[in-house]
Structure 1
Amino acid sequence: MTRVIEIDWPEFGGPAQPPGWRETAAEYSRRIETARAWMRARGITHFAVYGDREHFANLAWLIGFDPRFEEALLLIARDGDPLLLAGNECLGYIPASPMAVNLRLQLFPYFSLPSQPVRPHSTLLDTFRQEGIDAHSRIGLAGWKPYPDPQWLDAPSYIADQLRFAAGFENVMNAASFFVDPETGVRTTITAREALFFEWTNTLATEGMKRVIRAVKPGAMDYDLLEQARYNGVPLGCHMTLKCGANRVSLASARGERIERGGRFSCGISYWGANCCRCGWVLEDWPEYIREFAGPYFEAMAAWFYHLRPGTPGAALHDAVHSRLADDRFNVFLNAGHLIGLDEWVSSPVFKDSTIPLRSGMVMQADVIPSNPVYYSTRMEDGYLLADARLAAEIEALDPSFIDRAARRRDFMRSVLGLPVHSSICPLGNIPGLIAPFILAPNRVLTLA
């Protein structure tokens, strides 16, 4: 049964130095070859990968390049160096990637911002033909996500149309599943090097959340509270959010509202590889809220954590939540957890009847969102890396302190909060499993211990 106890929030520290997010040129070359093996197995002659500022993660995974301001398109044939088409400004940013020396670069000025100079260039159709795309080709086009119909494409029409004109309508298919399919997608797991970066961004987000919550008091303005996040320039995974006062619109950012005693509070801080969310009531106590809502939620999440380990089918996490939280009271509509990458939501193996097994290298967000018109919500969203012995050893070889921090966080979840966390789970943030339901009394937290 859930109880409320009073504790000092834990202090776990973080990496001594900010780790980079990019891999080595050799790793990116290996990823290109992984894509080519996937192409050969499916009879694909050319793989076109679209990206822009919002939908950057596929290109970042393949070549360590995230488009800024502009669109970009990578063309991979079955051999030779890939061709990257970029606009005026991204051409100057590409050298930030160690993979730049292994790419052919070409300006396509219409990827640039409106009204910028248009220098001489090849048309898209000419470029596609020069790359050997014709009626005998089969094209995989990755925009952002898969759809029920593989001929649905979410790259801009001026790209999709020209590919279809060059190869034939029926020869251009959606290939986003290569990246994000929850069972086979290459971006559904991370490497040891990426794990170091994800832990760093999770510590930034969770330490920021600590400061924000500790600064909450009646009359405080939402903008002033978010200054406590101490944004340091690492790319955001999504907009920071803070809702209080009359601001109750989902996903809303700060807008000049002030904290009201007895009101609702929620905050989200997200960087690449991390998203920390908490919500609760601007109160010191409300026993009914614990008994009827937050307590049962915490118990359901304990069952969720019990099943969070490599080899568990996604349905087990779904059932752990939905068998305990009635729809008419808790209304958990979205997936009971999802995968996070550089983008905040990659995909999810967690849904009803899912047989997709959780795998080592997945980073699962404990993002289970209840909603009730009386009790509002509660949350403990942070990131958790599933790491088997091999991945843990690879991480330890890069930074032994990562493994030590993960063990101490895991022990806190078990011994203080009573959450049954498997030994393969590496909590990435510094407030793992912690729910402080009453924002004016943040040291009062939920426990099953």
Structure 2
Amino acid sequence: MVRHAELVELVLPDFGYPIFEPSLTAETYLNRLERLRKKCSGDYTHMLVYGDREHSANIAYLTGYDPRFEEALLIVDIEGEDQWILVGNEGIGYLEISPIKEQLYPVLYQSFSLLAQDRSKSKPLKQLLQDTGITANSTIGVTGWKYYSAQESPDPHHWIEAPSYLIDNLRALATDVTNATHIFMHQTDGLRAVNEPEQLAQMEYAATLTSQAVRNVIYGIRTGMTEYQAVQLMNLNGYPHSAHTMLSTGERAWMGLPSPTNKKIQRGEPFTTAVGLWGALNSRAGWLLEHEMQLPKKIGDYVERLAAPYFEAATAWLEKMSIGVTGGELYKAVHDRIGDSFYGVWLNPGHLIGMDEWINSPIYKDSKDRIKPTMALQVDIIPATGTEYFTINTEDGIAVADQHTRNHFMEYYPEAWDRIVARRDYMTEQLGIRLQPEVLPFSNLASHLPPFILNPQRAFRMTE
């Protein structure tokens, strides 16, 4: 029998708030460096990982060091055992944050410092690079935050999104300097496409914070509040952000991405919000109403035409998700239901998440890429209708975990495991979403989707 989405009154359980914060040990980072060397052996002599405040995920993945005000450069001798990290004036002291600081050679490179700060104590960049063993015979891989295809360039391997002065100096020393970001960010084979159990536990912690923040807004927002006051309901604890906090109502909500303002929230307006922290992002969008009878007449069929089919597509994605499923199958599960141009699902319906909000995506039309154990993914299906129907959105995070990883969670992260089990129970028993055993929900919203924000208890479930 064909199932469909219906709106019903639901009681979203309290899944709890983290007390214990997982962390990554020095051993984890050293193991990652070892994996990098094995992966790059024979192809590169040196791997250079560039990072700045906006693009810190790859360098932090290897070191636990995230650039703040400055840029940074990690140089890994693939054939040896050494690694150097070039930082600016303020970065030297902040290197203490790295769990493997004793295994990093700190190098002061003051051109990474902010303008007007002292530049008199560091060597020229070319000499610093030579000091790490780079010669004319070196094979250099440079990791930034993107890599490119033949569709974009006739020579994509030589497109590198790092400062030109760095690439110019490297190419003055060595002839073989290419983009190596795929080593980290390829959608299935990249080092960061899969995660250690410890990393997943850290992501579940972050996702609990982000989802609870959005949940607090959904259940606490009132007309007459300002957008700033609505954001204060999030009650965030200071965990680092991966994206600007987003909340907008009225005309600005149609853009999707704006930060909040002092605008007063009014009944009948469109609404959207999203919160992103390292390893997690959650979002909801809908109308600031209590019931579909309050919608403008010309979109009176909003639930039947947009919202219900959307929830059915998100459910199909979740039910199809499993170890070994292809990205093409997940894409098809969504587009079979909301693939019409009216829905405007132009972006990949789901993607990998890490410290950065979007690593890459194995989910695209006809994709043969298979979902692997320990991947962390976003249920990120965005209907950009571009019409008076506005949109609806439920973005939550999950992990795909084999039995070994699930056992590890149960033993070492029982608090997180209890939340995961309770979320699964709600999704399967109350929402009618038939999850595979390997799907671990990380969101305290647990796919709870109220299209009318002023009535958050009235949400979708699947029924026959």
TM-score normalised by the chain length of structure 2: 0.93
Aligned with residue 188 of structure 1, among 182, 186, 193: 193
**1:331-370 equivalence runs, <5 A:** 331-370=344-383
User: Which residue identity is paired with 2:83?
Assistant: P
**Correspondence for 1:400:** 414
**Correspondence for 1:70:** 70
Do the aligned residues in 2 keep the contact of 1:383 with 1:428 (CA within 8 Å)?
yes
Aligned with residue 9 of structure 1, among 12, 22, 32: 12
Percent identity over the alignment? 37
**Correspondence for 1:28:** 29
Do the aligned residues in 2 keep the contact of 1:86 with 1:111 (CA within 8 Å)?
yes
Q: Deviations over 1:293-330 (max 9, x none)?
A: 10011111111111111110111110011111133210
Establish whether residue 423 from structure 1 lines up as the match of residue 437 from structure 2. Answer: yes
**Correspondence for 1:132:** 133
Cα distance, 1:374 vs structure 2: 2.2
Gaps of 5+ in 2: 150-155, 293-299
User: Which residue identity is paired with 1:209?
Assistant: V
Counterpart CA distance in 2 for 1:377 and 1:41 is 49
Counterpart CA distance in 1 for 2:42 and 2:400 is 29
Establish whether residue 273 from structure 1 lines up as the match of residue 248 from structure 2. Answer: no
Q: Deviations over 1:64-96 (max 9, x none)?
A: 111110000011112132011000111101111
Counterpart CA distance in 1 for 2:94 and 2:132 is 24
Do the aligned residues in 1 keep the contact of 2:205 with 2:416 (CA within 8 Å)?
no
User: Which residue identity is paired with 2:159?
Assistant: W
Cα distance, 1:343 vs structure 2: 0.7
SS in 2 for 1:106: strand
Cα distance, 1:39 vs structure 2: 1.9
Q: Deviations over 1:310-364 (max 9, x none)?
A: 1101111100111111332101000010111011111110001111110111111
Do the aligned residues in 1 keep the contact of 2:256 with 2:272 (CA within 8 Å)?
no
**Correspondence for 2:297:** none
**1:371-410 equivalence runs, <5 A:** 371-372=384-385, 373-410=387-424
Q: Deviations over 1:253-306 (max 9, x none)?
A: 112222221110000011111101000001111162111110011111111111
Residues 280-289 or 426-435, more deviating: 280-289
Counterpart CA distance in 2 for 1:80 and 1:311 is 35
Counterpart CA distance in 2 for 1:9 and 1:60 is 36
**Correspondence for 2:45:** 45
User: Which residue identity is paired with 1:264?
Assistant: P
SS in 2 for 1:242: strand
**Correspondence for 1:209:** 214
User: Which residue identity is paired with 2:245?
Assistant: M
Do the aligned residues in 2 keep the contact of 1:83 with 1:105 (CA within 8 Å)?
yes
Counterpart CA distance in 2 for 1:18 and 1:38 is 31
**Correspondence for 1:222:** 227
Counterpart CA distance in 1 for 2:236 and 2:422 is 26
Do the aligned residues in 2 keep the contact of 1:245 with 1:257 (CA within 8 Å)?
no
Describe the shift of the 1:53–1:28 C-alpha distance in structure 2 as closer, same or farther (beyond 3 A). Answer: same
Counterpart CA distance in 1 for 2:455 and 2:133 is 65
Do the aligned residues in 2 keep the contact of 1:246 with 1:257 (CA within 8 Å)?
no
Q: Deviations over 1:198-250 (max 9, x none)?
A: 11111111111121112222222101100011121100010000010232323
Counterpart CA distance in 2 for 1:237 and 1:211 is 20
Residues 113-122 or 354-363, more deviating: 113-122
Query: RMSD over aligned Cα, in angstroms?
Result: 1.2
User: Which residue identity is paired with 1:130?
Assistant: D
Counterpart CA distance in 1 for 2:133 and 2:202 is 38
Aligned with residue 301 of structure 1, among 314, 318, 322: 314
User: Which residue identity is paired with 1:5?
Assistant: V
Establish whether residue 97 from structure 1 lines up as the match of residue 98 from structure 2. Answer: yes
Counterpart CA distance in 2 for 1:425 and 1:103 is 37
User: Which residue identity is paired with 2:143?
Assistant: A
Do the aligned residues in 2 keep the contact of 1:193 with 1:398 (CA within 8 Å)?
no
SS in 2 for 1:247: helix
User: Which residue identity is paired with 2:167?
Assistant: A
SS in 2 for 1:323: helix
Counterpart CA distance in 1 for 2:443 and 2:316 is 20
**Correspondence for 2:166:** 159
Gaps of 5+ in 1: none
Do the aligned residues in 2 keep the contact of 1:133 with 1:166 (CA within 8 Å)?
yes
Q: Deviations over 1:139-166 (max 9, x none)?
A: 0000111112010000111111111111
Counterpart CA distance in 1 for 2:351 and 2:207 is 16
User: Which residue identity is paired with 2:171?
Assistant: R
Cα distance, 1:403 vs structure 2: 2.2
Counterpart CA distance in 2 for 1:208 and 1:132 is 48
User: Which residue identity is paired with 2:392?
Assistant: T
Cα distance, 1:193 vs structure 2: 1.2
SS in 2 for 1:408: helix
Counterpart CA distance in 2 for 1:445 and 1:349 is 30
Q: Deviations over 1:42-79 (max 9, x none)?
A: 2x111111001111011111111111100000111121
Do the aligned residues in 2 keep the contact of 1:300 with 1:321 (CA within 8 Å)?
yes
Counterpart CA distance in 2 for 1:355 and 1:407 is 30
**Correspondence for 1:57:** 57
Establish whether residue 316 from structure 1 lines up as the match of residue 333 from structure 2. Answer: no
**Correspondence for 1:88:** 89
Q: Deviations over 1:77-126 (max 9, x none)?
A: 12132011000111101111111000111100010111111232211111
Cα distance, 1:389 vs structure 2: 0.4
Do the aligned residues in 2 keep the contact of 1:50 with 1:155 (CA within 8 Å)?
yes
User: Which residue identity is paired with 2:378?
Assistant: Q
Counterpart CA distance in 2 for 1:228 and 1:45 is 51
**Correspondence for 2:342:** 329
TM-score normalised by the chain length of structure 1: 0.96
Aligned pair count? 444
